[in-house]
Amino acid sequence: MKADDDHELAARLANEAGQCLLELRERRQSEVDGKTLGDEGDAAAHELLVNALAAQRPHDAVLSEHGEAGPAREPAGRVWIVDPLDGTREFSEPGRTDWAVHVALAEGHDVLASAVALPARGLVLDTGAPPKPPARRAGAPRVAVSRSRPPEFVGEVAAAIGAEQVPMGSAGAKIAAVVLGDVDAYVHAGGQYEWDSAAPIGVARAAGLHTSRLDGSPLVYDRPDPWLPDLLVCRAELAEPLLTALSRSAATRPEGSS
C-alpha cells in the first residue's frame, strides 16, 4: 500500500464528510434547534467516515469521538483517528466558519497522514500537499485560545512575548489558523482527546510548524488512554520564546508550587 494513498484518502474523506455537513446544515438549520443540529451533524459525519474506512481500509482500526470501529487496535498498529465534527457548537451557529472535520492515520504512535476540512471556508488541508504558511504579518504575535475556556495562564504567557489573544472555536480551526497565517500560535491546556488534535497536528507538522506539549515534549498518539492534557502549535520562530514563557508560567508549574 502506498503512503500517498493514505494522504489522498484522508483528504477525500474529510472533504466528503464536510460536504455532508454543509448540506445537512443548509437543510435543517431552520427546522431544529442548535443542539439537535449539532447532534445530527456529528452522527451523519461519523457514519459516513466509519462506513468509508470499513470499505477502503478494512484491516485498519478506527478510533472516533463516538467509539471504536473495525478490527481491534493493536499496539503501535495502524489506526484512523477521526473527529467527524470538531466544533459542534460553532457548526450550529449561523455564519460561523470555525468548525472542522478531522481524519488522521496513526502508526507507531505517530501521525503518518491526515487532513482537516474547513467546509464553511471551502478548504481541505492535508499532509499530501501541505500548505506553506505565509510570512508572519507585522505587529504583535496573535495567539489563538478557546472562546469558551481560555486557560488562565495564557494571559501571563501572552504578556511575556507581547502577544494578543484571539478567541476561536474548534481545535482544528485554531491549528488551521496557524497553518494559514491567520494567527501565529495556539496554546491549549485543560485537556483534549486525541481525535481533537491528531489530524490538525499532522497537517501542522507537514507544513513545518512547531508542535509539542506545553513542556516541549512530543505529542504521542494511539495510546490506551486517548486523553491529551495540553499542546502548543506555533510558527517555528516563536517556539523558543513561547516554551520559555510557558516554563515560567502556571502552565508547567507543578501543582502546589508557587
Nearest to 115 by CA among 10, 6, 21: 10
- Let me know: does 180 contact 226? Beta carbons within 8 Å: no
d(CA 256, CA 145): 25
Dig out the grid coordinates for 69 from the structure. Answer: 470501529
- Let me know: does 233 contact 178? Beta carbons within 8 Å: yes
d(CA 119, CA 133): 20
The 8-class DSSP code of residue 119 comes to G
For the annotated binding site, the residues are 65, 83, 85-86, 196
For the annotated binding site for Mg(2+), the residues are 65, 83, 85-86, 196
- Let me know: does 189 contact 251? Beta carbons within 8 Å: yes
